[in-house]
Amino acid sequence: MSLSRRGFVKALSSAAMVTSLTGCNSNDEQQEKSKIKVGFNHGVASGDPLQHAVIIWTRITTDARLINVQWQVATDEKFTQVVASGDVTSDSVKDFTVKIDVNGLQPNQHYYYRFEANNTLSPVGQTQTLAEGELDKAAIAVVSCSNFPAGYFNVYREIVKQHQTSPINAVLHLGDYIYEYGAGEYATEDAQRLNRIPSKETECLTLDDYRKRYAQYRSDSDLQALHATLPMIAIWDDHEIANDTWREGAENHQQQEGDFSQRRAAAALAWLEWLPVRENPVSSMITYRDFSFGDLFDLYMLDTRVVARDEPLDYFSLTDTSIESISGLIQQARSPERRLLGNDQKQWLSERMATNTAKWSLLGQQVLMGKIEMPSSVMMGLFQLFQATDENKPAAMKAVQNAISAYLANPSSDPYLLPYNLDAWDGFYMEREWLYGVTTKLNKQLITLAGDSHNAWCSELSDHKGKGVGVEFATSSVTSPGLEKYLGLDLKTIGQMEFVLPQLVSELQWVNLKQRGFIRLDIDHQQVLSTWHFVSTVKEKEYQVETQQVVTKNGLMVS
C-alpha cells in the first residue's frame, strides 16, 4: 500500500519524534549511568574447576538497584585471546554477586578472567581447568577454619607466595570459611587490637547477617589474593551456620533465636552467593560432589555436617562422667542407626567411586576419620583437665601425666579405650566401617583429608578388624586456636603431649597441637607427599614458616 504525501510526512515526523525521544532517553540514561558508582571491593574468585568448565565470581559494590556486568575469559593476561564472554545482571536479590559457570574451555589450561561494570574493570583473576586423561603430577593446598577476628590470614598469603615458585593446581577449603560469632564471643579477644571486630558485632542469624560477614571476610587482602590466584574447591562445616550444626539444630542455636531451618536456609544461600561453587540442580542443600584430576586422583567432597548428621554426642552432656555413663554414650555412637553421611550421599559416593578409576582416591571432608582412642584412665584425667579452673590446671595436668606414665609402663593395666571426640567419625562408628568396606571392595588407595579440629594430625587408618584401609592427613586451622588454647597449657607441656599421644593412640602417627597452617599435597603416580606448613604467628603480619613431611606410597602407611 502506497503512502500519500501527507501520510508520508506524518509518518516521517512521527519517526523523527520517536528517534528524538529515544536519543534523549539514551543521553539521559548515559548521564545517569555515569553517576552510578561501581566498585569491585571484594575482588574476584574462581572455583569448582572441571575439564571444560570453571566458576568465576565477583561482587559489585554499588548504589544502583540493578547493574549490568560483562565478563571475559582469555588465555592471555592482556585479553587479546578471549575464548569466552558474556553479560549478566545482578541486584540486591543476589546481594550484587555475580557467578558464571564458564563452559567450552580446554582441559588442563591456564586462563585469565575479568569483569566490567559501568566502564569500571575488576582485578584480573587467574584460574585453571582440570586435566583429562594422563596427568603426571599435581599439587593442592588444603585449608580449614579461617576465623577473621582470631588473627591475620597469613596462611592464605603463604599459599600464594609458594604458588609463585612451586605451582599449585587448586585450594581445598574444608569448611569454617567464616565464623558466626559476635563481638566478645569465641576467639575475639584480640579483635579490637587487630581491627578485626566481627561485622555488625553480633552473631549471624539472618540472611543480611551472613552476607555482611562474608563481605567482611572478603575485604581481607590476603583472602582476595588467594581467590584471584587459584581456583578453590570448598565445602561447608558448621560455622558457616552455627557451632556444632547437625541436621535439625546446632549447639549455638537457641530457641529464642528463631526457627533453625530458616537460619540454616539463610546461611546456605549466603554461602552459595559468596563462594565460587557450582549449585546442585536438585537442592541447594546438597554440596557433596566429585572432581577428577586426570588419571592421577579423584577427589570426593563430602558433607559430614549439615545434610544428614544426627545430633552429636557429647561427654560433657552427661550428668556424671562415670565409666558406666560413658560406656552408654559410646554404645550410642556405635549404633547402626546413627547417620553422618545419610543414605543418599552414601549411594552417590559408592556409585561415583565405582565409576572413577584414578590412581588415588581423596576424600575432602570436615572431621577426623582416624580413631583417636585413648586409655580410659587418661581420658578421665583429660575430662578433669578440660573443666579445671586456671588455679587447678597444674594439678589436673599432673594427674593426666601420671595416668599416661602408668599406662605406658604397663598397658595391660588399662585395657579400656575411649574415643576422644564423638563429634568426629568416632561418634559415627558404623558409617565409618561402611565407608572402609566400600573403599576396600573397590581396591581404592584412600587418602582422607580433614579440618575442623584446628590442629594437625596424621593417621594410618584401619577397620574394626585392624586391617589397613587408608591414611589421613588433617590440616591445622588458618587462624582458629587449637588445643593449646583450650587446655591452657604452656608450649613445653604441649610439646610433651605431641610426643606422647602417638604412643597412646594406635592409628596416630604424628600430631601438632599448637600452630596454625595448611597442608600442601604433592601427588604423582608413585606417592603422595604431605607437607604441613605452619606459620609462627597470626597475631602479626610478619611470620616464619616451619614444616613437617610424611609420604605414602601405597595409601596404607606413611613414612
Instruction: Dump pLDDT digits (tens) for 524-553.
Output: 999 999 999 999 999 999 999 999 999 999
Whether 118 is covered by a domain: the verdict is no
> Which three-class secondary structure state does DSSP give residue 555?
coil
In which region does residue 187 sit, left (phi positive, over 0), alpha (psi from -120 to 50) or beta (all else)? left
Q: Specify the pLDDT at position 502.
A: 97
In this structure, the answer to whether residues 10 and 157 fall within a common structural domain is no
Q: What is the mean pLDDT of residues 166-175?
A: 98
140, 15: one domain: no
Mapping DSSP to helix (H, G, I), strand (E, B) and coil, where does residue 31 land?
helix
CATH of residue 228's domain is: 3.60.21.70
The pLDDT of residue 253 is above 60: yes
Q: Helices 393-409 and 491-504 sit at what angle, rounded to 10 degrees? A: 30
406 found inside a domain: no
Q: What is the DSSP string of 355-366?
A: H---SEEEEE-S
Residue 489 banded pLDDT, cuts 50, 70, 90: confident
In a domain, 236, yes or no: yes
pLDDT level of residue 241 (50, 70, 90 thresholds) = very high
Which DSSP helix (H) or strand (E) runs through 270? helix 260-274
Helix, strand, coil abundance in the chain, percent, nearest 5: 35, 25, 40
Bridging pattern class, strands 54-59 and 44-47 = antiparallel
Task: Please name the residues in contact with 208: beta carbons below 8 A apart, sequence gap of 6 or more.
Answer: none
pLDDT higher than 50, residue 520: yes
User: Cβ(115)–Cβ(58) under 8 Å?
Assistant: yes
The whole-angstrom separation of Cα 310 and Cα 283 is: 20
Give me the pLDDT at residue 493, please.
Answer: 87
476 and 357 fall within a common domain: yes
pLDDT of residue 122: 98
- CA-closest candidate to residue 401, choices 499, 512, 486: 499
Q: Is residue 91 part of a domain?
A: no
Segment 292-313 mean pLDDT: 97
pLDDT of amino acid 30 = 53
Task: Indicate whether this model's pTM tops 0.75.
Answer: yes
- Give the whole-number percent of the chain exceeding pLDDT 90: 86
**In this structure, are 311 and 427 located in the same domain?**
yes
Co-location of 134 and 31 in the same domain: no
Residue 7: predicted pLDDT: 39
- Residue among 510, 516, 313, 522 nearest 419 (CA): 313
Query: Region 332-348: what's the mean pLDDT?
Result: 97
Provide the pLDDT for residue 171. 99
Label residue 29 by pLDDT band (50, 70, 90): low
When the pLDDT of each residue in the chain is averaged and rounded to a whole number, the result is: 93
Domain shared by 136 and 18, yes or no: no
Q: Is 207 a member of any domain?
A: yes
| Domain assignment of residue 168, yes or no | yes
- 278/46 Cα distance (integer angstroms): 10
| pLDDT confidence band for 385 (50 / 70 / 90) | confident
Contacts of 357 (CB under 8 A, 6+ apart): 295
Residue-wise pLDDT tens digits, 44-101:
999 999 999 999 999 999 999 999 999 999 999 999 999 999 999 999 999 999 999 9
Question: Average pLDDT, stretch 173-184?
Answer: 98
Domain of 16, in residue numbers: 5-35
Q: Over range 250-262, report the average pLDDT.
A: 97
Task: For strands 297-301 and 289-293, give the pairing.
Answer: antiparallel
pLDDT at 25: 45
Residues 309 and 432 placed together within one structural domain of the fold: yes
Q: How confident is the model at residue 20 (pLDDT cuts 50, 70, 90)?
A: very low
Q: Does 196 or 323 have the greater pLDDT score?
A: 196
The whole-number pLDDT of residue 488 equals 79
Domain count, the chain: 2
Instruction: Count CA atoms within 13 Å of residue 267 on its CB side.
Output: 26
Q: Do 72 and 85 contact (CB within 8 A), yes or no?
A: yes
d(CA 263, CA 238) in angstroms, rounded, equals 13
| 486-490: average pLDDT | 80
- Residue ranges of alpha helices (H) inside 80-217 are 154-165, 191-194, 207-217
How far is C-alpha 429 from the geometric centre of its chain's CA atoms?
24
Whether residue 165 lies inside any domain: the answer is yes
Distance CA 337, CA 473 (A): 28
pLDDT computed for residue 478 by the predictor: 98
d(C-alpha 138, C-alpha 116), whole Å: 33
The label of the residue with cell 588419571 reads: 295
**Predicted pLDDT of residue 50:** 98
Query: Is residue 225 a contact partner of residue 157, using CB atoms and an 8 Å limit?
Result: yes
434-467 residue pLDDT tens: 999 999 999 999 999 999 999 999 999 999 999 9
Backbone torsion region of residue 68, taken as left when φ is above 0, otherwise alpha when ψ lies between -120 and 50, otherwise beta = beta
Residue 34 pLDDT level (bands cut at 50, 70, 90): low
Report percent pLDDT > 70 for the chain.
94
Residue 387 lies in a domain: no
